[in-house]
Chain A
Amino acid sequence: MTELAHDWFPRPLPDTVSLGERSWLYSSYAFMHSHGTVRIGPDCGIYNGTHFELGPEGSVEIGRYCTIVGAIIRTNARVAIGEMTFIAHEVVIADDPFAIPPRGAAEPAVADILIGENAWIGARAILLGGTTIGDDAVVGAGAVVRGNVPAGSTVVGNPAQVV
């Protein structure tokens, strides 16, 4: 059982959550609605406003040196985030555009969301089911992404397009 020394929320981290060495997580409140598995690598910062909203089949893997300023991650599939990726304020990463929080019941199978290494996701961007973000890619603020963002590219807008 892991408890965060600084936590205001009176619960330990769920057993299905692991936090790497030297990583900072603002609170166990991040897992208030979670029914899935979360693996956070070493040297990550996961800040206030981040919520893991995982269905029973949901899993999130975050590589080392990632910063998540404030993202809602709602999945019943796999969300993988490569090392050194930066995710800004009020980002939503979700299987479904009409997502609601999980309640622990079985949910239909959905597509994974994969984010490469050293990617940069701008504030208020929305990444939907089946999205793949390549290494070193940049997603502009407020972009709505569904599909493939090539490595090294920059996408902006709704729907997101390469610029």
Chain B
Amino acid sequence: MSFDVRTVTGEWDYATLPQNVRLGERCWIERPQSFERFRSTRSPGVVLGDDVRVHGWTVFNVEPEGLVTVGDGSVLVGAVFMCQAEIAVGRDVVISYQVTIADSDFHPRDPEERRRDAVASAPQGDRAGRPAVESRPVRIGDGAWIGIGAIVLKGVHVGAGARIGAGAVVARDVPAGAVVEGNPARVVPA
């Protein structure tokens, strides 16, 4: 079986992407597999700015109502976006290896609702019976850097120029220019 090397070098045909994926000038996407779980029906559902670089570990897991936007000059190395409603990444943001950003828990917290959700989510289940789940938009400010293995959870606003340390789990807002580390992430001296 022959393998087309262009599918892992960013030289594949970007016209094969869904019509609701908007790409800026000189945008580079290493692998089309980053969009295998993209199922937004919004228009647009993903917007990537000029000069954005998207490495093959990145995943746009976007639900039908979801929108992910990425500003000019940002680099996504291994950004796994779990998006139900909206994740907005600013300009010149760096997202390193193995980062997860989610704007929802995707499942209810209440134990009884979780049981209903489990049944409705089964392969042959009735998805219409799934309980509603809250989503809260995530915003990553311009020039922020997100370290290896960090996790950013729903509703978090990361301020411009902030630094999220490796392995941090961020559930609360990060002020502009702040450095946070740990689980739960806390501000440390810059």
In the complex with contacts A97-B165, A158-B183, A124-B149 CB distance below 8 A: yes
Chain B interface residue bracket vs A: 20 to 34
Contact partners of B166 in chain A: CB under 8 A: 92, 97, 126, 128, 144, 158
Q: Give A126 to B8 CA distance when docked, in angstroms.
A: 25
A121 to chain B, nearest CB (A): 14
Contact partner of B97 among A29, A32, A72, A159, CB < 8 A? A72
| Complexed CA–CA distance, A128 and B149 (Å) | 12
The answer to whether B163 and A92 have CB atoms under 8 Å apart is no
| Neighbouring B residues of A74 by C-beta, 8 Å | 97
Closest to B166 in A: A97
B96, A98: Cβ atoms closer than 8 Å: yes
Using CB atoms, name the residue of chain B closest to A74.
B97
**Complex CA distance for A98 and B3, rounded to whole angstroms:** 32
Contact flags A83-103 to B (C-beta < 8 A → 1, else 0): 000000010101001111100
Q: How large is the interface on A (under 10, 10 to 19, 20 to 34, 35 or more residues)?
A: 20 to 34
Residue of B55, B77, B149 contacting most chain A CB atoms (<10 Å): B149
Chain A contacts of B128 at CB under 8 A? none
Chain B residue nearest to A90 in the complex (CB):
B98
The answer to whether B75 and A126 touch across the interface, beta carbons within 8 angstroms, is: no
Q: Does B44 contact A (CB under 8 A)?
A: no
Apart from A98-B145, A126-B166, A158-B167: 8 A-B pairs, beta carbons within 8 A: A10-B3, A90-B98, A92-B97, A92-B98, A98-B148, A128-B166, A142-B167, A158-B168
Which of A90, A92, A97 has the most CB atoms of chain B within a 10 A radius of its CB? A97
Determine whether A39 belongs to the interface, using a CB cutoff of 8 Å to chain B: no
| Contact partners of B146 in chain A: CB under 8 A | 98
B59 to chain A, nearest CB (A): 14
Instruction: Please indicate the chain A residues that have their CB under 8 angstroms from the CB of B75 in the complex.
Output: 100
Chain A's closest residue to B53 (CB) is: A100
Q: Known: A10-B5, A126-B149. Is A94-B97 also a contact (CB below 8 A)? A: yes
Q: How far is the CB of B94 from chain A (nearest CB, A)?
A: 5
Instruction: Give the docked Cα–Cα distance between A72 and B99 (Å).
Output: 13
What residues on B are CB-neighbors of A11 within 8 Å?
Answer: 5
